[in-house]
Structure 1
Amino acid sequence: MFKMAKPFFIRVMTPLHAGSGQDLGIVDLPIQRERHTGFPKIEGSGIKGSIREVFGNLKKDFKVGTQTINNKNLKQAIYLAFGPEEGDLHAGALGFTDARILLFPVKSMKGIFAYITCPKILERFKEEMIIAKNTNTIKNIFDKNLPSKLTISNLGELAISGNIVLEEYTFKVKEENTTKEFAIWLSNLLDIDEIKNKLVVLPDDDFKDFVNLSTEVITRTKIDPKTGTVQKGALFTEEYLPSETIMYSLVLTTPFFNEKKEVFNPIDKKEEELVMEFFENGIPEVIQIGGNATIGKGIVEIKKWRE
């Protein structure tokens, strides 16, 4: 059973394809989505695999409790935290939930783009922050009502005569203090200044339509070098989460399932606290998640939780 949970955030810097395999729909290679909502997600297993690979390539030394993790003991630390790569000798002490969407960027007639969300997303975000026992931090934001639908953090940034135009759709919105306060809090937490003025809370159904219809769909081909034409069967489409999408996940830690844990020296701190330190002190600010890394896709910025 996991003993600690902390949120972290994922800011998509280049379009991200966390694939769900081939599909019979319009898009050949769609992204992963929740079954019951259709909202985009990234499977926890994919996040864990990407982060494990990142830790395996670390070149820096960092502290965990009283110990220093370096190239001499990093392999053993990864083995304890993430578990063995093959076999089932023991479970890892580090886990991740699926990454859920929090903010989705949509083209705006004014202000270039808006960060959209909806009451359903915010309610679920609140619930998961409470699961992570960060109630004191979020209390000032969510003690009041959640931001209402059809509200905006700053009318002057995106609205024209009280209306905003997202893609080809017009919405009448109003400025609301709760929405503004949440936008400021999230902007400061993630160190993304644009959120303060570009946050829009849409109705749930409209948000669902945008995250289903406004993702990036790219057509790819493979050219036959002998003929200079597209190879047969090599024309396909891929779906991507656009740049500036904001997602969040929970990192979960538990005591070690292996007795050989000297690398962490669990004397002054609980084992689950040391595993959390290992993640927080070791994770780089920028990593790659998802497919097509060789063409620059899936570069993301990791935003750690700050009390």
Structure 2
Amino acid sequence: MSIRFAVTLDPLHIGAGGYRLGRVDNTIVRDAGSGLPKVPGSSLAGVARSYLTQILTGEEQERAQACITSTDKDKGNCGKCLACRLFGYAASGRQTKSHIGLLRFYDGDIVAFPVSTIAGPVWVTSPSALAQVLPPENVPALDRDVLLIDGPLPAKMSKINVGWLYLDAEVAENALQSLRRALGDDASRRFARLALAPDWLFAELVNSNLEVRTSVSIDPLTGAAENGKLFTYEAIPAATLLAFDVEIDRARCAQAGEAGGSDPVDADEALRLLDRALELCGVLGMGGMCTRGFGRVRFLGGA
């Protein structure tokens, strides 16, 4: 498992598509079982492929530029550039066969979620969320309906408000030390006060504290709001800790040259290029509403 942690610098909106009746008009993608918001692996793969073409140099850059600027049916599916070999391509134009990519992107999960409290911001996680990124022996158990705080709290505070809930709280230093070690010292400092909540409560805390914004379409002629064009949308708030699992098929890297009609792919170099491409997510963003202050995500490293 190759985990890459990331923190949202802005609200992140990965839309579910279309409108629906409910709290907001434009909802975000959620896991069908837990109801927790998630970032589809396809969303990360799409921006990674796009940003990869911006960091390549030399002959590989020329191939990638020729692929994405082609005017025939081979556009984006040349099968020879590094982007096609790493991310796959479809049968079109001169390509008679499709090939899956060497990189595999899995859905990103929320690991720690920021919630406002009277004691300041708290990043809430749960045993099931930690199980996505830590070995089973390092996942703390929680068999009580209490919030375990790994971080400082005002003296004699035995209860704490977490959003609209009022919960029993206990200071448990080093309860989440395994997560802090996985993040590294520099990244761990971003999350001064972590808290462990029961699994049954985690989804409620997250969904009750998502960011909801309202927008309206502007008439370009009058500069005023258009009648009937008000809409709301939700987003994963800034400072949320996410985890993505990205793997590379090393067994197929050596055969990539035979399948794609080009040189074999060096797996380690491909992962280094991927990390550089993902750095651009912290500048150019991902998901929807990127022109409205949304979408920047900074990747922190791997575990």
Q: Does 1:27 align with 2:24?
A: yes
By how many angstroms is 1:212 displaced? 1.1
- Which structure 1 segments of 5+ residues have no match? 62-67, 127-137
Q: Does 1:216 align with 2:211?
A: yes
By how many angstroms is 1:202 displaced? 1.2
Amino acid at match of 2:4: F
Write the mapping of 1:146-161 to structure 2, written as runs, cut at 5 A. 146-148=140-142, 150-154=147-151, 156-157=152-153, 161=157
Aligned to 1:101: 110
By how many angstroms is 1:207 displaced? 1.6
Identity %: 24
Write the mapping of 1:140-289 to structure 2, written as runs, cut at 5 A. 143=137, 146-148=140-142, 150-154=147-151, 156-157=152-153, 161-188=157-184, 191-195=187-191, 197-226=192-221, 229-254=224-249, 255-256=252-253, 257=256, 259=258, 265=264, 272-280=267-275, 282-284=277-279, 286=282, 287-289=284-286
Q: Give secondary structure in 2 for the equivalent of 1:125.
A: coil
Q: TM-score, normalised by structure 1?
A: 0.78
Quote the Cα distance in structure 2 between the aligned partners of 1:241 and 1:152.
Answer: 22
Amino acid at match of 1:221: V
Aligned to 1:119: 127
By how many angstroms is 1:224 displaced? 2.6
Contact 2:13 2:287 in 1 (8 A): yes
Deviations for 1:100-136, whole angstroms, at most 9, x for unmatched residues? Answer: 110111112112x11001122123333xxxxxxxxxx
Amino acid at match of 2:231: F
Quote the Cα distance in structure 2 between the aligned partners of 1:107 and 1:77.
Answer: 44
Q: Does 1:71 align with 2:76?
A: no
Contact 1:19 1:31 in 2 (8 A): yes
1:183–1:157 CA distance, 2 compared to 1 (3 A): farther
Amino acid at match of 1:48: A
Contact 2:36 2:206 in 1 (8 A): yes
Contact 1:102 1:122 in 2 (8 A): yes
Quote the Cα distance in structure 2 between the aligned partners of 1:171 and 1:69.
Answer: 59
1:252–1:180 CA distance, 2 compared to 1 (3 A): closer
Aligned to 1:82: 87
Amino acid at match of 1:259: E
Amino acid at match of 1:208: A
1:293–1:144 CA distance, 2 compared to 1 (3 A): closer
Amino acid at match of 1:224: D
Deviations for 1:85-114, whole angstroms, at most 9, x for unmatched residues? Answer: 674521111120011110111112112x11
Q: Give secondary structure in 1 for the equivalent of 2:258.
A: coil
Contact 1:253 1:273 in 2 (8 A): no
Quote the Cα distance in structure 2 between the aligned partners of 1:289 and 1:202.
Answer: 29
Aligned length: 274
Contact 2:163 2:205 in 1 (8 A): no
Quote the Cα distance in structure 1 between the aligned partners of 2:269 and 2:9.
Answer: 30
By how many angstroms is 1:276 displaced? 3.0
Match of 1:291 among 288, 292, 298: 288
By how many angstroms is 1:258 displaced? 5.2
Q: Give secondary structure in 2 for the equivalent of 1:27.
A: coil
**How much is the aligned-residue C-alpha RMSD, in angstroms?**
2.8
1:189–1:101 CA distance, 2 compared to 1 (3 A): farther
Q: Does 1:304 align with 2:301?
A: yes
Quote the Cα distance in structure 1 between the aligned partners of 2:32 and 2:259.
Answer: 40
By how many angstroms is 1:227 displaced? 5.2
Quote the Cα distance in structure 2 between the aligned partners of 1:159 and 1:216.
Answer: 31
1:46–1:282 CA distance, 2 compared to 1 (3 A): closer
